[in-house]
Chains A and B, each alone.
Chain A
Amino acid sequence: MSTRFDIEVIGERINPGFKSTQALFDTSDIAGIQALAVRQAEAGASCLNVNVGARAMTDHAFLTDVIRAIQEVVSLPLSFDVPDVATHERCLEIYDPRKAGGVRSILNSITEHRWDAMRLYRDCPFRVIVMASERVEDGLARNNKTAADIASTAKRAALRLRDAYGVPLDEIFIDLSVSAVVADTEGLSRATLDAVRLIGSDPELKGLHLMGGLSNIGQQLPAKAADGSDLKHQLENAFLTLAVPHGFDTVLGTPWRSYEWLPEGNYVLEAYRFFLGQTGSHALRAVRRFYRS
């Protein structure tokens, strides 16, 4: 019986954070980047994220080549994670929606504080990822550390996008920044999961997508869990097992990783539940349970 989650995966691999991808960028290996795009498409990605790192700002020709080359070989829409608005504008100019079945690209990302890129919307509409991890208060950006703050920021931003720009809710993705458990001593993982519940159950926000990148969750942890399983992957699955039932429907992730439900009693799922109830150094001790029995 297949126990895969019914979720969309935005392919994350075109990003210099992956060493093998960095090597492709270092050698300007366009054919290698195309192969990586095809591999993600074949593995079931619904969209491909493009992040070429700092080079996006200094080497516009390379950025152009990368986007065109990807669109030559896959018919998926692209999502652009670039450092500034000018670079994003350039991505929008290069991106050809006709090569992606007419589907709009995704801007990854804005926050309440970094809203400037929305000025590009009227000339060339796009779908948009909003990071709900920070808000603006008295003109200053502040971190959201509670579920209520995350959820209210998400709602405020989504309704502003809909009402002021006409972005349909189902073209808005709320990025819930899934924390690395290794350094989470402030209950951020708990807050994120509670925020999923709050936003997912709000009738006014029906259609809105809830998403997050999962690669951080197991950062700086050993490869194997205490039960011998693949710790990072099981942590991703543990998060999804708790979040998907409440409306989390999109992952920025690796398409060929099979994201699957964890059964009750699974070692990592239980250790994750225990961890979610801890803060401070108790949380660090709870993290050690993942890899030390």
Chain B
Amino acid sequence: MNDMSPQERQLVEHLSDMNEDDALALARRMLLDEGADPLRVLALCRNAMDIVGKRFEQGEYFLPELVLAGEMLETIGAIARPLIVHAPGEAPAKLGKVLIGTVHGDLHDIGKNIVSFMLDINGFEVRDIGIDVPAQTFIDEIRAFRPDVVGLSGFLTLAFDSMKETINAFDAAGLRGDFKVVIGGGQIDETVRAYTGADAFGTNAVDAVNLCRQWMG
């Protein structure tokens, strides 16, 4: 995005520098007082999120910045979206569908919730089916939702077995080839990925977004 006005550049800077109050005030003013194109404002927000994501990967930002920036994007989106009604064209297409849940036997949800949130604000259609999810429930939800990616989350060591069982069940149901499977959680690594038979693993929300983007690209 090289063709930004000084005001637009300012908005991207406030967002990516985490000046929450200034960013929200400026976005409100642009959208509500100055009649800025809501699609354009949302594009600026995504641009800012990309900067935040890069700073996160470079170790300059951490999870709080990632989530707070996401919340700014949500707040601005809530103001912008009703204004799009009059704009021509249909709703912007989602990048792809992701089904996510914490596997059977594990009740941890914090990491999963952050991944769901980050995928959602990055343009994916996310269906989060909660915690302690049996393999059969995953299968029922997959048949109904037809996801491009299935994310299995787990924090405990016992989750490794549940992940393996769940992925085996996808196989047995003849579904395994229909989508990619990514596993995630604090203790997940390449050994666990190989053990469970998943396509990839991630240890944070940016990993998850990048993997889904690669697969949808």
Contact = CB atoms under 8 A, between A and B. Distances in A.
Nearest to B162: A83
Interface string B91-128: 00000000000000101011100100000000000000
A221 B66 CA distance: 12
B64 interface: yes
A141 B68 contact: no
A288 B64 contact: yes
A114 B65 CA distance: 36
What is the size category of the interface that chain B forms with chain A?
20 to 34
A235 interface: no
Interface stretch (A36-44, A121-129, A251-259, A279-287): A279-287
B107 A284 contact: no
A221 B64 CA distance: 9
Interface stretch (A48-56, A98-106, A162-170): A48-56
B121 to A, nearest CB: 14
Contacts of A219: 186
Interface in B40-97: 59, 62-65, 67-68, 71
Given A142-B107, A281-B68, A55 B114 contact: no
Contacts of A277: none
A17 interface: yes
Given A84-B161, A288-B65, A54 B105 contact: no
Contacts of B111: 183
B204 to A, nearest CB: 7
Contacts of B131: 143
Interface string B171-198: 0000000000000001101011001000
Contacts of B160: 53-54, 57, 83
B158 interface: yes
A143 B110 CA distance: 11
Contacts of B189: 16, 22, 53
Contacts of A55: 191
B187 A220 contact: no
A54 B62 contact: no
B110 A83 contact: no
Nearest to B114: A183
Given A53-B157, A281-B71, A182 B191 contact: no
Contacts of A142: 107
Given A54-B160, A83-B157, A143 B107 contact: yes
A62 interface: no
A249 interface: no
B148 interface: no
A141 B156 CA distance: 15
Contacts of A284: 63-64, 67-68
B62 A82 contact: no
Contacts of B132: 140-141
Given A183-B110, A288-B65, A84 B192 contact: no
A207 interface: no
Contacts of A285: 64, 68
B157 A51 contact: yes
Interface in A119-166: 133-134, 140-143
A220 B107 contact: no
A3 interface: no
Nearest to A109: B156
A178 to B, nearest CB: 13
Interface of B: 18, 59, 62-65, 67-68, 71, 105, 107, 109-111, 114, 131-132, 157-158, 160-161, 186-187, 189, 191-192, 195, 204
11 contacts: A16-B187, A22-B191, A51-B157, A54-B157, A54-B160, A133-B107, A183-B111, A183-B114, A216-B186, A222-B59, A284-B63
Interface of A: 16-17, 22, 26, 51, 53-55, 57-58, 81-84, 114, 133-134, 140-143, 179-180, 182-184, 216, 219-222, 281, 284-285, 287-288, 291
Given A114-B105, A288-B65, 13 more contacts: A17-B187, A53-B189, A54-B157, A54-B192, A84-B158, A140-B132, A141-B132, A143-B109, A183-B63, A183-B114, A216-B186, A221-B62, A285-B68
